[in-house]
Structure 1
Amino acid sequence: MRIFRIAALLFAALLTAFTLAGPASAAKGGSGNPHFIYVTPSLVGNNLQVDFKEAGVGAGASVDVSTTATFTYELGCINGGSKHPKAANKEAFSVTPTASGSFTANAGGNVVASLTLVAPTDEEILATLECPPGQTTTLFSAYWSGLSITDVTNGITIAIPGTWSVF
């Protein structure tokens, strides 16, 4: 009989502890199981547009989402004869822009939105390398890589493999 009482007390204590603690998702503002359904990057001019759908955030919940990627470009100097001299005047540069926003989930607990990573302007790119007199700064290649997206509110980050060539 005594063992039955101890077991009943332990069960009641555990039930109380779990009831007070609540489900793990309650720590995330009552959200369910936040996760990205898709992340689709595409080039819009030189910029990288990142379309995404996140589910399980809870109807009407607000989430902060950010995305980042590296924009790498290679410049060199071309002489008047349209030749690229063999001198060490060909260099790679990179920048890592970030885009972010706050979004409200629909009645189904989903966020469908897009963020755009903005590339440097042509003028900004060409200004990063100064060529000797008589030579012209020329862009040889440019691409995006290292894309990731983060639901800052729920602490979820995923990396998106790939390279998106601009030039």
Structure 2
Amino acid sequence: MRKIIATLGAALLALFAWTAPAQASTGGSGNPHFVYITPSVSGSNLVVNFKEAGVGAGASVTVSTAATYDFVLGCINGGSNHPKASNKTAFSSSQSASQTFTANAGGNVVANLTLTPPANQLSYLTCPSGQTTTLLSASWTDLSITDATNSITVNVPGTWTVS
């Protein structure tokens, strides 16, 4: 009886050892985490470069990013002057972007997402006749990045000024 149990145990152990590497190479994720998140301004856009590791080779992950676009509009006359301080108004708009990525053979996703300001931002302020609505300043704040597939969110502190 002991010999049968020992043989059966050895067979089960051999079967487990044989299948474990296959599961590790094709199955699930390891320890998903963002290695770096590097935001930068390009024009008026906020480009969020990132690397996420530990998601599993060939895995699909949906990553999204969101931030607040704060901007100040003013009315400028034909002489390029800002005639009245009251014709200057601050606005905020929440912007987001999302995409599904496929991890490389090492289980990493190295990519970027781009946040764009609202297309109609100049329509937020109406100027008097003879004056033009102008963007006076803008910046991005409250940045976050989320891997929805693995339920990971990272808040990135900072302010990125549009020049």
**Match for 1:136 among 132, 135, 146?**
132
Tell me how far apart the structure 2 counterparts of residues 77 and 45 of structure 1 sit (CA, whole Å): 22
Report the 3-state secondary structure (helix = DSSP H, G, I; strand = E; otherwise coil) of the residue aligned with 2:154. Answer: strand
What amino acid sits opposite 1:70 in the alignment? T
Equivalent pairs counted in the alignment come to: 137
Deviations 1:76-128 (A, max 9, x none): 2234554434453211112111111111111111111111111234xx22221
Dislocated runs of 4+, deviation >4 Å: none
Matched, 1:164 2:160: yes
| Paired amino acid for 2:28 | G
CA–CA distance in structure 2, aligned partners of residues 80 and 106 of structure 1:
55
Deviations 1:28-57 (A, max 9, x none): x72111100001111222111111100111
Counterpart CA distance in 2 for 1:66 and 1:137 is 32
Q: Percent identity?
A: 69
Unaligned 5+ runs, structure 2: 1-26
Partner of 1:20: none
After TM superposition, the structure 1 = structure 2 runs for residues 1-167 of structure 1, keeping only pairs within 5 Å, are 30-86=28-84, 88-121=86-119, 124-167=120-163
Q: Which amino acid aligns with 1:58?
A: G
In the TM superposition, residue 161 of structure 1 has moved relative to its aligned partner by 1.2
- 135 and 105 in structure 1: CA distance in 2 versus 1, 3 angstrom threshold: same
Q: Which residue identity lines up with residue 38 of structure 1 in the other structure?
A: Y
Partner Cα separation in structure 1 for residue 80 and residue 113 of structure 2:
39
* Structure 1: stretches of 5+ with no match in the other structure: 1-28
Change (3 A) 1:44 1:83: closer
